[in-house]
Amino acid sequence: MLQVAFIREHKEDIIKRLAKRNIDATQMVNDAITLDEERRALQTKLDNVKAESNTLSKEIGNLFKSGEAQKANLLKEKTTQLKETTKTLEQELNDKADALSQLLYLIPNVPNDMVPAGNTDEDNEETFREGDVPKLYEGALPHWELAKKYDIIDFELGNKITGAGFPVYKGKGAKLQRALITYFLDKNTEAGYTEIQVPHLVNEASGFGTGQLPDKEGQMYHVTADNLYLIPTAEVPATNIFRDTILNESDLPKSITGYTPCFRREAGSYGAHVRGLNRLHQFDKVEILRVEHPDNSYSALDGMVEHVKGILRELKLPYRILRLCGGDLGFTSALTYDFEVFSTAQDRWLEISSVSNFETFQANRLKLRFKNNEGKNELCHTLNGSSLALPRVLAGILENYQTKDGIKIPEVLVPYTGFDMIS
């Protein structure tokens, strides 16, 4: 959430930069400034009324002490009126503050200057590419056919148990899935991230804190009886660890990693491009998250990108990195890099990770601050990334490592799986 003071001081720049998202934010920005001015005017009026009431109360006390009860009672009538005025002003102030908060929740984060202009994912900017696309044997299969051939993932059984988008992993498929999770966590902890385990359901305040609410409410599974939400990513519970927190500057950075299942309704997703593991309602993901000093957050972002690159190099998967354009940028992000692995059997790129800097946007919603060396509170910067999302990594391994005799296991994973071939 943008700070009102920031909006007020950088009005034209904010409108210009939000235009990169293909949003004309003029009305929202002007309304926010107007609501804030009205809120501040009401606060001043309320403060004056309270001050007058306090002054009269002291005067009444002095009049009673001096035996001037008649004058005191006349002033008491005025204080009664002031109390009613105070009550009215407090209600108007609360209503104005709520209206301002609701509006601020709807204004997306301001894109960083590095974000390219553009409308759709076709306008994203490729910044890096690495790895050779393997030449597969004639008759190579997409991963959903390989899964059936080697009986390692059962999509029909998952459909029977729950519905489409909830696969059942079996045998070596389940072991490979578990191996990837452990491998990712090991790589992250070796890089200095502290491993955590977090709840898989969150409350409404947590959803608002990281920006999933109200932006992505329709894409989250909602447990209505308890007003809880199944997490769409570990980012939500992990970042909310720091909600309503004031850190010391010496505490920064905070670096954590965690594995969770993720749940997304993915409403409206149909067609061949979402077959198999390409898009699921439940999937596993290992996340990395950082809380940083504002001066260091972009060097931290570069470090996170390099960390994910190192994992993909070890897996020997062909991949590329995209800097997302304004039209494809997430609501809360100031700058995002997407990693995509090339699926040789499908002849297409599959997104496997997003690494983002949210600057102060989430921290403002979370009230996540640090006390600087001068003793003043400042908002932290938050960052997070997938390291990595498993379904499409698994799809990439199955398709790119397939041979006529079976599916080879990437060398770096063999110590985790205990086998080097699925056949």
Please, are residues 399 and 379 in contact by the beta-carbon 8 Å criterion? no
Alpha-carbon Rg for the chain in angstroms:
27
Q: Give the residue-averaged pLDDT of 216-242.
A: 94
Q: Find the range with the poorest average confidence among 134-138, 178-182, 404-408.
A: 134-138
- By CB atoms closer than 10 A (0-12, 13-18, 19+), residue 139 is exposed
pLDDT, residue 109, reads 97
Burial code (b: 16+ CB inside 10 Å, e: under 16) for 363-374 equals bbbbebbbeeee
Look at the domain 121-422 and name its fold: BirA Bifunctional Protein; domain 2 (3.30.930)
Please, are residues 379 and 369 in contact by the beta-carbon 8 Å criterion? yes
Burial code (b: 16+ CB inside 10 Å, e: under 16) for 208-230 equals bbbbbbebbeeebeeeeeeebbb
Percent of the chain with pLDDT over 70: 98
Q: Give the residue-averaged pLDDT of 378-383.
A: 98
pLDDT, residue 45, reads 95
> Within 13 Å and on the Cβ side, how many CA atoms surround 297?
25
Specify the domain boundaries for CATH 1.10.287.40 within the chain. 4-106
pLDDT, residue 273, reads 64
| Superfamily of domain 4-106, CATH level 4 | Serine-tRNA synthetase, tRNA binding domain (1.10.287.40)
Query: Is 384 known as a binding-site position?
Result: yes
Q: Give the residue-averaged pLDDT of 89-98.
A: 96
Query: Is 374 known as a binding-site position?
Result: no
Query: Is 233 known as a binding-site position?
Result: yes
pLDDT above 90: residue 68: no
The closest of 195, 171, 325 to 259, measured between CA atoms, is: 195
Query: Is 287 known as a binding-site position?
Result: yes
Cα dihedral: 120, 124, 129, 133 (round 10): 10
pLDDT, residue 18, reads 97
pLDDT above 80: residue 297: yes
How far apart are the C-alpha atoms of 294 and 249, rounded to whole Å? Answer: 11
Q: Give the residue-averaged pLDDT of 216-243.
A: 94
Q: Find the range with the poorest average confidence among 22-26, 189-193, 266-270, 405-409.
A: 266-270
pLDDT above 60: residue 306: yes
Query: Is 377 known as a binding-site position?
Result: no
**Cα maximum dimension of the chain:** 108
pLDDT above 90: residue 272: no
Q: Find the range with the poorest average confidence among 107-116, 128-137, 212-221, 244-253.
A: 212-221
**Helix axes of 26-65 and 69-106: crossing angle, nearest 10 degrees:** 160
Query: Is 264 known as a binding-site position?
Result: yes
Query: Is 407 known as a binding-site position?
Result: no
Query: Is 354 known as a binding-site position?
Result: yes
How far apart are the C-alpha atoms of 129 and 339, rounded to whole Å? Answer: 10
How far apart are the C-alpha atoms of 125 and 131, rounded to whole Å? Answer: 18
Query: Is 84 known as a binding-site position?
Result: no
Query: Tokens 């990437």 correspond to what residue?
Result: 410
Percent of the chain with pLDDT over 90: 88
Specify the domain boundaries for CATH 3.30.930.10 within the chain. 121-422
pLDDT above 80: residue 329: yes
